[in-house]
Each structure stands twice: as C-alpha cells, then as structure tokens.
C-alpha cells in the first residue's frame, strides 16, 4: 500500500489560461514525463514576433530525469515548439502517432542544424512504460487523424488526459468514439481527469463531420463553376471530405499552398488520406479542364495576405485567376483577430462576382472540441475523483470546473490552475502549491528565442504609434557651439517632404538648446545636454502635432 | 412634366463598402445636399491613427452650392467628422434631432478653434425645404433615440433613406416603428430606396429591446452583489434599461467613464433619459451603500485598457475595487478586432471570482440594425422602383441586393455601389457613371488631418516589425577614414545590453565599409557610401538575426 504522502506534481508550462502552446509536466519524485511541446501565435501587441513557446527553465539541470515526450496529435499547438526546445531538454525520446511523427519530421527539415529525433510510433491500444508511468494510448476524435488520449497509471493513481477531443458518432476517416473503452477506463478507477476545455463555453454538442459532409455535398452537387475550397492545412479530415466529394462529382483536385501540399503528402504517404489515383493534378494541368471538373483546395481561409486564396482573389496567382461564377467555400472558423482580413477577402470576392459559402451561412465547418454536453458525458463516463480542466482561457477553465461541480464532483476536488502553478496530486487530495515555476511567454523572432522581451516590444509599440526622430548635432569642443545645421532622420512620424518649416524650426530649437546648455564655460555634461534635447524637443513636437515620436539625440564633439 | 434627361447624382464618400464613416452627397444640377459626416476607427495595420474620415476634395470650390448637412442620428459614424470637416465645406447649416445636436455641440467643445455651428433641430414629421429638395423626417428605431429616416422629394422623384434602423414593436424610450407612415410613403411612390445593410447577412429578425430588458431583469432580480454593467456610451437605450432596472430593484447608479457621463448628461438634460431624482450618485458616495444597492454603469465592454471596467478589474480605479461576488454584465457585442482584449478582461474577472454575463450566454444585447426579415419588410412596404443598399461591407451590400431581387426588384434596378462612385438617378433609370470621385481614407493623427499617408504608415509598420538601427560614423575629410568608433542607436530590434558582441562586430563592419568606399583617393560619393552601409549592414544583421530593421546610416565629415 502506498504511503499517504506520495504525490505527483503536475506542472502546466503552457495551455492553461490560453488556447495553444500546450505543454505539461508530470513529475513523480525525480522522474519527469512531458506531454506536448506546442506553440501559439502572437497577440496583436507583439509586432514582429513569429511564435510564442513555453518557458522551460524549470527543466534546466533536470534533463537526465526526463523520461520522454508524448505528443497527443499533429497540430502545432501541441508539437510546434519541438525544433526550438528539444535540444535544451536533452533530446529525449518522443512518442506519437505515425501522422504526428510525419509532421514533426517534416517541420524539423526547416531547422538544418537541429538534432536527429528519436520518435517511437504508438497507436490506439498501445501501452508503454516510462519509469513510474504506464501509459495506454486511446484514440479520440478531433479534426486530424492520429489523435490520442492518455490513460496513465502512476504510483498515486490513474490519470486520464483527454487530449483535444470531441465525440463524433459519424466521423470522417476515423472510427467513431470508443465509448466502451472510455467506460472501461472509468471502471478501472480514475483519480484525476484532465479534460480539454476549449469548447466549455459552447452549449450543446459539436457538429458531426457527417453533417458537414452533407452540407458540402449540397454545394458540390449544384456547383457549375470551379470550386475553390479554403481551409486550414491542419484540418486533415476536412481535406479528406473535399477530396472525396470532388471524386464523387467528377472533379480533379489541385492542392495549392505550401502547408497544404506538405500535409496532404505526409498524410497520403502514411495512408491517413484516401485519394484515388488520378484525382490530384498540378495547377498547370488544371487549366486544361473545364471549370465544373476542377476543385482548388487551398490555404487562405483566414484572409492571410500571401496565402493562395488571397492571391487568386487579387489576380496574383501564377495559374489561377479568379473569375465570375467561381464558387468559394470557406470551410473554417475565423480565428479571433482575423475578422477584418477575412472580411476584406470576402468583399474582394463578392466584388468580382463570386458565389461565397462560409460557416455563418450554413454548417460547413465544425470545431474540433467537445461542447458542454460532450464534456458532461466525458465526466460522467470517466467518473474521476479529482478534476483539472486543461486547454483554454481562464473563462473556459472556470466554466468547465462549474460543469464538473454540477456533476457531483466536490468543489475542493476541482482545481482551476494556470500555467506555472504546481498541482500537487495524491491519493487523498489535490491542491495548488504556493510555489510557482516560470511560465512567461518566450518569444521567437527570427533566429532569436527569448531575446525579445518587454523593452524591445514596448519600443516596437511606441515606434509604430508615432515613429521616431533622430537629431544629430556636431558640437565644437572648444566653443561648445553647434557646427552647421543638425541632421534630422525621422520615420513614421510625419511626412518629411511636406514638413520643411517644422524641421527648420526644430533645427533652430536644437542649436539653441545645445548652445545654452554648453555655454557655461564649465565642463559639459553631455547626458544633461541630451536629456534637454529629448525633453524640450518632445514638448515642442507634441505641441505642434500632438504626436510623441521616440526622440533620439546624437551629439558629436569634434 | 420632367424632362427625361433630368437626373440626380448620389455620391457616397463613406459608408458604402465599409461599416462607418457615413457621408453621402445628393447633387441636383449645382445644388448639393450632404447626408451625415461620420468617422470610423482605424484598422490594425494603421498604428497611431486616431480616426479615418471621408475625403471631401470633390466638394472643393463647391462650398457655395452646399445647401446643408443632415445628421440622421447621434453616433460618431454619422457625425464624428464634423469638427474636422465643417470649416472646409464652408460651415453650412446642419439639421438634426435635439439629441444629435447635443452630442455634436458637446464634441465641438474639444475643438476650441472650431467655428460656431448653425444647427436646426428637427423631429419626426417635420418638413424642410432645401433648394430643390423637400425633406420630411421620419422616426426610425435604432439603439439611440432621435434617429431619423429621410423622405426626400426631388425633381426627379422621391427618395427614402432609412438611416440605420431596425423594426421594434416594443422599443425602449421610443415609440414602436410607425408602419402606417412607412406605408403611406410607399403609397406616395418611391423612386429610390436607400436602405441600411449592416444586418443583411443576419437571418431572421433583430431582437426587441423588450427581450433584452426581460433578460437583464432576471440578472437584477437574483443579484446579491454589486452590479457592474458595461456597455457603449452611445447605446443610450441600453443605458436607460440599466438605470430603470436599478430603480426597480432599489439600486443607486453610479455612472463612470468620461463618455458615459457626458452622454448621460446630454440625454438627461434633453429629456431623452428618464431618471428619478436621487438615483444617480457619485462614486465617492457609492462606497457608503451596501453592495446590493449599487449599480456601476460604465464604459469598457470592449476591454479597452484605460476604460473603467478594466481599471476596476485591475484594481486601479480610484473608488471601486473589484471583489468576489461582483456581477458583471457585458451588454454589448464585441467589435471585430477586440476579441482578445475582451477575453483578457473576462479572464481577469473570472480569475478574481466574478459572476460574468455576456451576450453569448444570454440575450442581453441586441444590435441596432434590421436583419434579413426586417429588410424584406422595408422593401415590401416602400416598394421602390430602384434600390441602393447603403451602410455596409461589400458582402452585406451584395447580400442586400440579392434580397431586393428576390422581392421582384429588377436586376438592373439594383445598384451595388462603393464609396467614390457616382450613382446617376433619373426617373427612367439608375446607373453608375464611369467617372469616380476621390474617396480614399483620410487619416487623423493628433493635429494632423490627412498628412499621414502610405509612406508614414508603411514606415510605422516596418518599425514595429523589426525596429530600427541608426549608425553614426564620423569621417575625417582629409583621409576618408572613420574617426573613433561609430555610434549605434537602435530600438525595437534586439536588446542592446545583451548583444554587445554583435554590436562590436557591426561597428567593425561599418568602419571597413566606409574606409574601403572612401579610400580611392577620388572625391567621395556619400550617397554611395550610405547605400553600401545600408545594404551590407542589412545583409549582415539579417544573417545573424533573420530580422530586417530599418537601417539609417549617418556619415559626418569633419
């Protein structure tokens, strides 16, 4: 029998209090198991940032304790940080489905100096032992195949981690949810359920992919022109639907966009996609087919400027030019923040006479996440003692916690935790430790990982708002007086060519400030001179423009 | 009888192809009538911009032809550009409801040098004659009182302009829609209907304010803590509901936020708001009342950083500090682009134990715009010969046009027009002229109106992405060699303190480039030297960081 003080520490480094960047540690004594290593995309107030990844400083000097990394499915919010972090955690073994492995390896090609990865393929029903953890992989429906929930036996009790999931009785390219298996897990006794909260604020049940297929079928059935279907490259189940419907209605499919081509190739090679011989054609061949025989399957449903759909709409695509009567399917939701670019794209298409279908008009997109009724069913099926909502904003975690309490999980047994908190789980209780671990954003910008911090970001925000203003004054060492006319370099503040009087006045101001502050005859305090320029020029420019550019004085003594 | 060639030109300068910035000209021979003078808020890719206003260059030298400006209601997208443009169009007379006038005059106080305005108050049923136009004002429901549709008799035929509208049988603070009057207008014969398209992509009928009130009543009825209700200051009907419910349930109301205070004061003075004596209290008094006796009515439902709700949530408000059990009502939709800030605010409130109500959970907000069924009813009632959808993105205008065609308006009689196009309307036909007038964005930034253009904006975008890098080299005139070590000033690119080796290498590079290019003994081409620095340094920094800061070389000869 276990001692009562035995516990496991669960440490979310990402994904709790946000959507994306999933990474969680399970620590028993010294041994550490990592679940996921994802990224997320930057907020609007983080210009220039490519991605945000988890902070792994807690793992420093614990590399030898890391048993392995489990990747639950092939989306970037679960595996996208691998190229940036894998070496730093000592390149431990990775366990994932064959599709996830394919996606990880393809991505790794973009990082030529990255180490060779050790990835073991696992599938539904497989069991592995990693130190004190015995893990069984359980298939779960999502919107990409090869998605695995984790049934983890630990020395303190059993944990079930749902992965992202939804219950789908008629999924695409996948078996329906295995309720029998979930029930068996529940019957074995689950100490802790860690369940996906992304859909916890959505009433009812998520749409079945079957419903989506039926609606897409209606569009395909009546379509007289080309079909241009845009979705996420990562929504492989939707990709399968578009391809199957094209085959049904005698259309060839041209796959366009780097990420779309790549994912289709990986999934096809691994037999996750079923595509008849001859269905796929190249863009340059497609122009030889009549319009009703062509589907263009492409990226760009978020209105991304450089993606295929925008280039077709703007008549900038090498092979495909938008024409009146083209039928455009937006088969994805709109990610918050992209509404305006999507609207711009839709307007451009309407302006040119497109027939547009999007998810607000009919159900041609389903999310990949369980909604309230499914979340309830999961809790009822697993019947855990303790409950930890994972994957989601605080509002979603809180809502999911309320759902659990409504199903007779004791209030004290429901833990709302955020990134960096340490959840202490023992057979008897679950609680948050007082101590936390670092979990702040680590920003990736070009080759820099974590080097862009608050200071650089704040400067970028300020630069973008009112621009900058450099003034270069050459000062005579002997007299302390400005020589010639100061140089002005400014960007993003005013249009210089039309502001000559203001610039002339600014130069006179600077000469005046320098001559006054240096003219005392004593040793010159250059820091003071620069501060004076910055302050007085700032006031002057604000009074004239009500803008506050960053002012950078350069004083050169000669 | 009119001659067949007689026509009116309708020229939208804003609001067609966008939501906001409404302004339309009606031109008959020389005479020009202006409807609205609104602004819109900037897109995400326009950092530092305060507002976007219409381009009025078409009106240059036509000031004496302008008969007047009609403002249909008191929202900034219909009147917000007045302070910037009124002088430029010769300060013509304005006609508006009393509430709109109050809002215009209050705003004008922020522009002390602006001219005195000549505003005539008009109300439902009033008729005025302006040159060839006879205008009758017709009340229309929206989410602010004093909203007026326009029945305009012109020499070529009658025009009905709906203003923003919805049909509401049980509105707040307003009479229900006057269908009898609308029918009469239809019976008089309408040549052209100009109808609000903002809701043209929404199925069904907009919610009645009565429904909203019933749902808000449920919240008030059970609330045990303070109620903090956030909405737009411009949603005066919602403001009335919150105040009336507070009175019903014995709560005092503290109005917080500059725009909220201002609007409540204007509307109360003009008797558009009904508030009992003693209901409103100051924040400093509010702290003396028990929680269930207090409503805080405030701005900040969009998660704006400086608005009242965010300051309360962040414990930065002078009088009110958020506490567990506070009940927060978000009674507004989320404007596209604000999803993330709203989510941040909601999370912060949930984290601290708030009870949160928002429009996705229950119907506690209704839009102010007619949806598809109402739009159909308007067309059926007015039975126009020609149809021009106004107010909306292209996708909405197109959809609204389709609705009209579905109601037996001939395809050639439906015109989808955008800003800057000239709609030529005669008794016999309607068509778009080939010629267009300028209608591009005019950006307001501080005191500058229209001075920030493509160049400045592009620089701001570039600066925000990767920052800037100024290098100052002092060169000896005689030898052509760099004196000392070049100065580097950089912001938003890298964190300088942690990048000393890179900066040292950069300085060596610059010395090398200058010395090589100036070392030929011939006259030095400084433009070439600077280009060399810019190009080579750009490549060097990119190779090390994969970032592309704006590089600004300064070379000083001494």
Q: Is the pLDDT of residue A557 over 90?
A: no
How many residue pairs bridge chain A and chain B with CB atoms within 8 Å of each other?
187
* pLDDT classification of B2: cutoffs 50, 70, 90: very low
Q: Based on the fold, state whether residues B275 and B224 are members of the same structural domain.
A: yes
At residue B463, the 3 state secondary structure works out as helix
If you measure CA to CA, which chain A residue comes closest to B334?
Answer: A336
Å from A204 to nearest chain B CA? Answer: 12
Tell me: do B336 and B371 sit in the same domain. Answer: no
Q: B387, B417 in Cβ contact below 8 A?
A: no
Q: What is the pLDDT of residue A521?
A: 62
Interface test with A, best of B17, B394, B454, B502 (most A CBs within 10 A): B394
Comparison of pLDDT for B476 and B382, the residue scoring more: B382
Neighboring chain A residues of B487 at a CB cutoff of 8 Å: 554, 556
The CATH number that applies at residue B512 is 3.10.20.580
Interface membership of A557 toward B (CB under 8 Å) = no
pLDDT tens readout for residues B87-103 = 999 999 999 999 999 99
Query: Are A26 and A113 in a shared domain?
Result: yes
Establish if B112 belongs to a structural domain.
yes
Mean of per-residue pLDDT scores for chain B: 94
A539 in contact with B, Cβ within 8 Å: no
CA distance B548 to chain A (A): 10
HEC assignment per residue over A265-286: HHHHHCCCCCCCCCCECCHHHH
Q: For residues A64 and B530, give the distance between their C-alpha atoms in angstroms, rounded to a whole number.
A: 52
Strand pairing category for B468-475 and B482-491: antiparallel
Please tell me which of the candidates A336, A346, A495 has its beta carbon nearest to residue B455.
A495
Written as six digits, the tokens of A15 are 């994904």
> For A63-79, what is the mean pLDDT?
97
Q: Looking at the complex, does the CB of residue B432 fall below 8 Å from at least one CB of chain A? A: no
Strands B355-358 and B327-330 come out as parallel
pLDDT for the residue numbered B367: 86
Chain A residues within 8 A of B343 when measuring between CB atoms: 336, 393, 395
Task: List, for residues B406-416, the tens digit of each pLDDT value.
Answer: 999 999 999 99
Q: Is A468 on the interface with B (CB under 8 A)?
A: yes
Last residue of a domain, one of B325, B357, B389: B357
* A474 close contact with B: CB closer than 8 A: yes
- Residue B273 in this model has a pLDDT that exceeds 50: yes
Domain that holds residue A253: 209-357
Domain presence at residue B362: no
Answer yes or no: do B77 and B199 share one domain: yes
SS3 B282: coil
Tell whether A538 is within 8 A of chain B (Cβ). no
Count of beta carbons in the 10 Å neighbourhood of residue A440? 14
- Please report whether residue A219 resides in a domain: yes
CA-nearest residue of chain B to A498?
Answer: B451
Is the model's pLDDT at A544 over the cut of 80?
A: yes
Q: Which of A327, A357, A387 is the last residue of a domain?
A: A357
Spell out which residues of chain A touch residue B461, defining contact as CB-CB under 8 Å. Answer: 464
Mean pLDDT of chain A: 94
Q: Tell me the pLDDT tens digit for each residue of A177-219.
A: 999 999 999 999 999 999 999 999 999 999 988 899 999 999 9
Summarize pLDDT for B216-260 with one digit per residue, the tens: 999 999 999 999 999 999 999 999 999 999 999 999 999 999 999
Helix segments in A423-483, DSSP class H:
454-466
pLDDT average, residue stretch A388-415: 97
Percent of chain B with pLDDT over 70: 98
Domain boundary pick from B317, B335, B357: B357
Residues B193, B98: one domain? yes
One domain, residues A406 and A258: no
- pLDDT digit string (tens) for A234-244? 999 999 999 99
- Per-residue pLDDT of A311-354, as tens digits, reads 999 999 999 999 998 999 998 888 877 888 899 999 999 999 99
Residue A1 belongs to a domain: no
CATH code where residue B232 lies: 3.40.50.10710
Span of A202-206, B364-368, B520-524, B552-556 with lowest mean pLDDT: B520-524
Judgement on whether residues A410 and A353 belong to the same structural domain of the protein: no
Mean pLDDT of A100-106: 97
CATH number for A67: 3.60.15.10
Strands B66-70 and A119-121, by their bridges, are unpaired
Out of A98-112, A508-522, A523-537, B88-102, which region has the weakest mean confidence (pLDDT)? A508-522
Instruction: Based on the residue annotation, tell me whether B363 is a catalytic residue of this protein.
Output: no
- Considering its fold, how many domains does chain A have in total? 3
Which one has a higher pLDDT value, A361 or A31?
A31
| Res A520: pLDDT | 61
Q: What is the pLDDT of residue A261?
A: 96
Tokens 């009116």, residue?
B8
Q: Please tell me whether residues B528 and B407 are part of one structural domain.
A: no
Is the pLDDT at A436 greater than 60, yes or no? yes
Q: Binning pLDDT at 50, 70 and 90, where does residue A165 land?
A: very high
- Nearest-CB residue to B468 (from A446, A491, A547): A491
Identity of the residue in A445, A499, A546 whose CB atom sits nearest the CB atom of B447:
A546
Supply the pLDDT for residue A365: 85
| A65: number of Cβ within 10 Å | 16
Per-residue confidence (pLDDT) for residue B402, from 0 to 100: 96
Asked if residues B291 and B251 have their Cβ atoms less than 8 Å apart, the reply is no
Same domain, B79 and B197: yes
A37, A144: one domain: yes
Contacting B residues, span 297-336, partner chain A, CB-CB under 8 Å: 336
Pair of tokens at residue B275:
């508030």
Best mutation target among B44, B354, B356, B463 (most A Cβ atoms within 10 Å) is B463
Q: Work out the angle between the directed axes of helices A526-545 and A500-518 (0-180°, nearest 10).
A: 150
- Per the domain annotation, does B2 fall within a domain? no
Residue B430 tokens, joined? 């309607």
pLDDT tens track for A368-397: 999 999 999 999 999 999 999 999 999 999
Q: Is residue B3 part of a domain?
A: no
Question: How many residues are there in chain A?
Answer: 558
Domain membership of residue B476 (yes or no) is yes
Mean pLDDT for A448-475 is 93
B196 catalytic residue (yes or no): yes
* Contact residues, A window 164-203, toward B, CB-based 8 Å cutoff: 201
Strand A227-230 versus strand B119-121 pairing type = unpaired
- pLDDT band for position A522 (cuts 50, 70, 90): low
| Residues of chain A with C-beta less than 8 angstroms from the C-beta of B394 | 346-348, 350-351
A362 falls within a domain: no
What are the residue numbers of the active site of A?
196, 369
Q: What strands lie across the sheet with B133-139, from one edge to the other?
A: B127-130, B133-139, B148-154, B157-161, B192-196, B386-390
At A1, the pLDDT band (50, 70, 90 cuts) reads very low
Cβ contact (<8 Å) for B463 and A460?
yes
Same domain (yes/no): A30, A144: yes
Angular region, A215: left φ>0, alpha ψ -120 to 50, beta rest: alpha
Average pLDDT over residues A439-460: 93
Q: Do A455 and B47 touch (CB under 8 A)?
A: no
Q: Are A275 and A395 in the same domain?
A: no
- Which pLDDT does position B4 carry in this prediction? 52
Q: List, as one string, the DSSP characters of B362-397.
A: S-----SS--HHHHHHHHHHH--SEEEEESB-HHHH
B24 has which bridge partners? B12, B35
């Amino acid at each position: 029998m276990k001692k009562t003080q035995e516990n496991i520490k669960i440490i979310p480094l990402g994904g709790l209090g946000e959507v994306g960047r999933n990474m969680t540690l399970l620590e028993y004594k010294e041994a550490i198991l990592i679940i996921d290593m994802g990224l997320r995309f930057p907020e609007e107030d983080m210009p220039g940032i490519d991605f945000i990844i988890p902070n792994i400083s807690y793992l420093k000097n614990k590399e030898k304790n890391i048993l392995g990394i489990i990747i639950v499915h092939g989306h970037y919010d679960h595996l996208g940080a691998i190229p940036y972090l894998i070496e730093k955690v000592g390149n431990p073994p990775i366990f994932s489905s064959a599709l996830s492995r394919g996606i990880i390896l393809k991505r790794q090609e973009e990082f030529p100096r990255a180490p060779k990865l050790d990835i073991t393929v696992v599938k539904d029903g497989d069991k592995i032992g990693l130190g004190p953890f015995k893990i069984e992989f359980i298939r779960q429906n999502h919107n990409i195949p090869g998605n695995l929930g984790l049934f983890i036996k630990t020395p303190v009790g059993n944990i079930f981690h749902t992965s992202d999931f939804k219950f789908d009785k008629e999924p695409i390219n996948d078996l329906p949810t295995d309720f029998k298996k979930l029930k068996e897990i529940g019957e074995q006794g689950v100490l802790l359920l860690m369940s996906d909260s992304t859909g916890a604020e959505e009433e009812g049940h998520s749409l079945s992919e079957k419903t989506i297929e039926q609606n897409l079928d209606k569009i395909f059935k009546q379509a007289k022109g080309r079909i241009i279907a845009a979705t996420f490259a990562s929504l492989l189940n939707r990709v399968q639907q578009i391809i199957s419907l094209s085959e049904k209605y005698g259309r060839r499919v041209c796959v366009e966009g780097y990420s779309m081509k790549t994912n289709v190739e990986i999934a096809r090679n691994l037999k996750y996609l079923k595509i008849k011989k001859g269905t796929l054609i190249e863009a340059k061949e497609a122009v030889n087919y009549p319009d009703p025989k062509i589907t263009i399957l492409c990226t760009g449903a978020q209105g991304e400027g450089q993606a295929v759909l925008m280039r077709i709409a703007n008549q900038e695509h090498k092979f495909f030019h938008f024409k009146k009567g083209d039928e455009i399917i937006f088969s994805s939701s709109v990610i918050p923040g992209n509404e305006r670019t999507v609207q711009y794209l839709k307007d451009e298409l309407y302006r040119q006479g497109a027939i547009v279908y999007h998810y607000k008009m009919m159900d041609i997109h389903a999310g990949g996440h369980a909604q309230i009724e499914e979340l309830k069913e999961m809790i009822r099926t697993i019947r855990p003692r303790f409950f930890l909502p994972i994957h989601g904003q605080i509002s979603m975690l809180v809502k999911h916690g309320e759902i659990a309490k409504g199903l007779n999980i004791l209030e004290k047994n429901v833990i709302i935790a955020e990134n960096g908190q340490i959840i202490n789980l023992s057979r008897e209780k679950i609680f948050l430790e007082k101590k936390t671990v670092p979990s702040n954003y680590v920003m990736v910008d070009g080759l820099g990982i974590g080097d862009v911090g608050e200071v650089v970001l704040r400067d970028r925000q300020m630069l973008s708002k009112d621009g900058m203003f450099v003034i270069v004054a050459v000062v005579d060492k002997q007299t302390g007086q400005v020589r010639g006319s100061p140089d002005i370099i400014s960007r993003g503040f005013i249009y210089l060519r039309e502001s000559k009087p203001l610039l002339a006045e600014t130069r006179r101001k600077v000469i005046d400030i320098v001559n006054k502050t240096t003219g005392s005859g004593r040793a010159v305090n250059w820091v003071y001179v620069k501060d004076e320029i910055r302050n007085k020029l700032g006031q002057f420019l604000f009074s004239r423009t009500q803008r506050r550019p960053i002012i950078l004085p350069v004083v050169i003594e000669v």
